[in-house]
Amino acid sequence: MSIVLQAKGISKNFHDPITIQVLKDVSFEINRGEFVSVIGKSGCGKSTLLYILSTMDTDYEGDLLIDGVPMRNKKEGELALVRNEKIGFVFQFHYLLNEFSVLRNVMLPGLKLGKYSEQEVEHRAMEKLRILGIDNEAHKMANQLSGGQKQRVAIARALINDPLIIMGDEPTGNLDKKNSQIVFDIFNELAHEFKQTLLIVTHDNEFAQSTDRIIEMEDGRIIRM
Amino acid sequence: MNTKLIFTIAKSLLVARWRQTLVAAIGVTFSIAMFITLLGFMTGLNDLLDGLILNRTPHIKLYNELKATPNQPIAISDKFKNHYNFIHSVKPSGTRAEIYNYGAIIDALKNDKRVFGVAPKLVAQVFYNVGAIDVTGVINGIDVEAENKLFYFQDYVTAGKFIDLKNTPNSIILGKGLADKMLANIGDVVQVTTPKGDRIQLKVVGLFQSGLQDFDKTQSYASLTTAQKLLGKPSNYVTDIQIKLTDMTLAPLVGKEYAKVFNLDAEDIQTANSQFETGSSVRSIISYAVGITLLVVAGFGIYNILNMMIYEKMDSIAILKATGFSGNDVNIIFISIALTIGFFGGLAGLISGFGLSVVIDNVPFNTAALPTIKTYPINYNPKFYVIGIIFSLITTYFAGLFPARKASKIDPVVIIRGK
């Protein structure tokens, strides 16, 4: 099984107002096709870790390898390219652009990658929306959807470039029970039917129990994996 | 592909905030319109005022200055060579006011490539007889056609036809002020007395208004032959040769050269009217300063609106960066928003500036001083329009530069975690 993501001794300090070490020598690996959840109490550093793994936060010590390539010393533009091509994001909040239609929102990262023609990207976007069961809403504006639908559009957006890994930061945190279940079922389907690698930060233990592997954190350290 | 995508995003942001965009664009439009109008009006006025003097002033005037010879006989004499001579109260004598052999000089000048045209002139001091009162004045004997070609004589003749001066013998065109004083009108006969005491009757064929009231109260025009007859001089008697050059700036240089070659005195336009150039350039500087100030103010408006847009769109910028748009892409998005506002605002500004100019151009403007001017003068020089659009692009670019840089530096982690 090939390693998709590898963290080697990652530490991070917050300096404001006083220096606090939030991550202490965190090391682990994620293999292709794994469905991993990260749990822990608030403030244990799980979100901080996720943003470092996502390449958006570059202020850390240690090494991060994505697809075997070290991320340290990469320029901002190169990291943007890595995020575009290899990582899909689902946040607690959907972050859809209200100026665009649902379809267009899903297409944006695909158009940015420029691997396929516009028609092809559109076709692929429709396919992703169909998988998530919201292809009927494709031509609505983003702000006309319900909260659960928006989160599903955000997942479709994360999938558009067939990323190496999907990272989620409390993706069900803003949703009610029913919608949480829908999103959770989608993740399960992606993991088991499409062999999509997933790394989800959550504080929902029920959610975590049904994933392949749980990484539990406390005070900036991994205590179980 | 990527550029097209970035422009689509910029366009969507613009359209989504169309009210703010419109306000920003109107700011640019307003300032460019004012810039164009102001410059067009100012320059139009400048050209008018310059034309008032420059059009009717020869670039070089050749004449004989009335002055004592610098080589007095005693200085030339051998007998007093080793003496110091003091001569008091030297007077000029026997100086000829006329230009010797003027026909040959004019032929020589006409062959000079730098010369646009030549017009001879005869200035005669006279008294106009108004009943028992004599009014001192000047009659300018002119070559009517040459004068018209070089100095737009017909523009100043407000009543009658200028060419009648040539066609009617013993005719005169009076200054408007002078005609009022003499109660003379076209068709009337006026009487003038020459300095030698001869009386001569002249028929009024026209009136002129130069725009300089003092000038109109004393001056009048007659044909060269009439003036020569008036003074009892032969037909080769001419006091001034007026020259217009193809390039006005050469006047001081060429003037000196002619003075030497023809052994005459020369006066160039730059020396005679130096104050006008100064006035023109100062007025232009003021117009540009006001225009640029307006643009800078509009630039601050754009800066504010872009800044606000960035605060509102923090989330969008953050997600764009999270999904793979680089800081540079975000930078280009906001710069192109600013430039779009600048371009379309500027374009609308050019059009409305032109419209405003046309309106001003049609506003009646009648003044006794300027008989040929019926409406306010406007200069439609395309140069102003080019400068206007370039300025609008430059200011909006700089207005967008700092907000765009700020947007490109937004850290998506801070925004996303802050939720």
Interface with chain B: mutation pick from A83, A102, A103, A120, highest number of B CBs within 10 Å = A83
- Higher confidence at residue A70 or residue B71? A70
Nearest to A95 among B2, B15, B315 (CB): B315
Q: How many Å apart are CA B194 and CA A198, to the nearest integer?
A: 114
Q: How many Å apart are CA A198 and CA A215, to the nearest integer?
A: 13
Q: How many Å apart are CA B143 and CA B225, to the nearest integer?
A: 9
Query: B417 and A98 in contact by Cβ < 8 A?
Result: no
CATH classification of the domain holding A171: 3.40.50.300
Query: Could you tell me the residue range of the domain that residue A102 belongs to?
Result: 34-44+72-224
Predicted structure pTM score: 0.72
Q: In what order do the strands lie in the sheet with A3-14?
A: A20-31, A3-14, A61-66, A69-70
For chains A and B, count residue pairs whose Cβ atoms are closer than 8 Å: 77
pLDDT at B204: 92
State pLDDT tens for residues B38-67: 888 888 888 887 777 777 788 888 888 877
A55 assigned to some structural domain: no
State the smallest CA–CA distance between residue B297 and chain A in angstroms: 29
Query: B412 and A157 in contact by Cβ < 8 A?
Result: no
State the smallest CA–CA distance between residue A57 and chain B in angstroms: 7
A103 assigned to some structural domain: yes
Q: Are A49 and A38 contacting, i.e. CB atoms less than 8 angstroms apart? A: yes
A43 — alpha (psi -120 to 50), left (phi > 0) or beta? left
Question: What token pair was written down for B211?
Answer: 């725009």
Q: How many Å apart are CA B341 and CA B403, to the nearest integer?
A: 14
Domains contained in chain A, number: 1
A117 assigned to some structural domain: yes
Cβ of residue A85 closer than 8 Å to a chain B Cβ: yes
Cβ of residue B13 closer than 8 Å to a chain A Cβ: yes
- Strands, E assignment, A57-210: 61-66, 69-70, 87-90, 165-169, 197-201
Q: How many Å apart are CA B324 and CA B247, to the nearest integer?
A: 62
Cβ of residue B416 closer than 8 Å to a chain A Cβ: yes
> Which chain A residues have a beta carbon less than 8 Å from that of B411?
56
Of the candidates B148, B180, B150, which has an alpha carbon nearest to the alpha carbon of residue B166? B148
- Count of helix runs (H) and strand runs (E) in chain B: 17, 10
Per-residue pLDDT of chain A (225 residues; tens, 9 = 90+): 688 889 898 998 888 788 888 888 889 889 988 899 998 888 888 888 888 888 888 888 889 999 888 888 888 888 888 888 899 988 888 888 888 888 888 988 888 888 888 899 899 999 888 888 888 888 888 888 888 888 889 989 998 888 999 998 888 887 888 888 888 888 888 888 888 899 999 888 888 888 888 999 888 888 887
Query: B5 and A98 in contact by Cβ < 8 A?
Result: no
State pLDDT tens for residues A4-13: 889 898 998 8
Query: B12 and A100 in contact by Cβ < 8 A?
Result: yes
B 322-361 near A (Cβ less than 8 A): 322-329
Question: Computed over its alpha carbons, how large is the radius of gyration of chain B?
Answer: 34
A21 assigned to some structural domain: no
Query: B320 and A108 in contact by Cβ < 8 A?
Result: yes
* ipTM, interface predicted TM-score of the complex: 0.86
> Which chain A residues have a beta carbon less than 8 Å from that of B321?
56, 80
pLDDT at A136: 87
Confidence of residue B348 (pLDDT cuts 50, 70, 90): very high
What is the residue whose two structure tokens read 């550029």? B3
State pLDDT tens for residues B7-27: 888 888 888 878 888 888 888
Q: Are B316 and A93 contacting, i.e. CB atoms less than 8 angstroms apart? A: no
Tell me the three state secondary structure of residue B57. Answer: coil
pLDDT at B350: 93
* Exposure letters B342-368 (e unless 16+ CB within 10 A, then b): bbbbbbbbbebbbebbeebbeeeeeee
**pLDDT above 90: residue B351:** yes
